A and B are shown apart, each in its own frame.
Chain A
Amino acid sequence: MSKIVDARGLACPQPVILTGKALKESDTVMVIVDDETPKDNVSRIATRKGYNVKVEEKDGDFYIHIQKKNTVSEEVVASPIPAPEGDLVVLISSNTVGRGSDELGEILMRAFMHTFMEVEPKPQTMIFINSGVKLAIEDSIVLEDLQALAGEEIQILVCGTCLDYFKLKDKVAVGEVSNAYTILETLLQAGKVVRL
């Protein structure tokens, strides 16, 4: 049985939530929205979940036809990403993410650190240098997340020189204080280094 979701006039993320609910109940769903943003969001999420998606425009409304693909193509979508050879190392060289706004950069850092626990693959090591060391101290904005990551056997290396520079050496609350040798060896031996 096909289901119809009329999401006209609803703000993000309502159309996506309603679509997700309908797809749990039926393999074929038609979603009606009246704006480009929900049209794109609903289409993209359904495509990512492995559904066939077709959009029709009629009188300013978008009719999104979502249909389950056969099982073979679903398996292709669900195939796991092969792990790279060697360790996965994350290098964090600032207490904020990106450039432009430090306020936003701090928000992004908190969002990313929370999300590390929820996505795969997990890194083997996370290295904190320069102002990045401020994330590993007692009153860090992401201490709870780093402690959870350390609990998952992820090695956390905190640059000793940097702690010393910021006079935070006695404030370290997670991970181990490390030096240029260990940090550089870890980076050089890594299979992949991701910089945040």
Chain B
Amino acid sequence: MQKPTYGVVLFHSTQTAIKAEKILKGAGIQIKLIPVPRQLSSDCGICLRFEFDDAQMIESTLVSKGVQIAGVYPL
């Protein structure tokens, strides 16, 4: 299977997503705030899209700052 270009990280609230965006931008990681893709859910609002190679760095950065992640998915 081909490696996905992007992944998304989902959160339990809009406020958490906003906080996570600030942290990741501050850490110089390329991300884009987008609506949660339809195939994942229709109700969970916004998420952050990232380049798939950065997946581990994103998870560890957020975990180290105590940000709760609802899920990480390939796009």
Contacts and interface: CB of A to CB of B under 8 A. Distances in A.
Interface of A: 11-14, 16-17, 20, 37, 41, 44-45, 103-104, 107, 110-111, 114-115, 144
A144 B71 CA distance: 26
Interface in B23-75: 32-36, 39-44, 46, 70-71, 73
List of 3 A-B pairs having minimum Cβ-Cβ separation, nearest first: A13-B41, A111-B35, A114-B34
A111 B36 CA distance: 9
Contacts, number: 48
Nearest to A17: B40
Contact of A41 (B12, B33, B41, B46): B41
Contacts of B18: 103, 107
B10 interface: yes
22 contacts: A12-B41, A12-B43, A12-B70, A13-B10, A13-B41, A13-B44, A13-B70, A13-B71, A16-B40, A16-B42, A17-B39, A17-B40, A17-B41, A41-B42, A103-B18, A107-B18, A107-B46, A110-B33, A111-B46, A114-B32, A115-B34, A144-B32
Interface of B: 10, 12, 14, 18, 32-36, 39-44, 46, 70-71, 73
Contacts of A16: 40-42
A111 B39 contact: no
Nearest to A14: B71
Contacts of A107: 14, 18, 33, 46
A13 B35 CA distance: 13
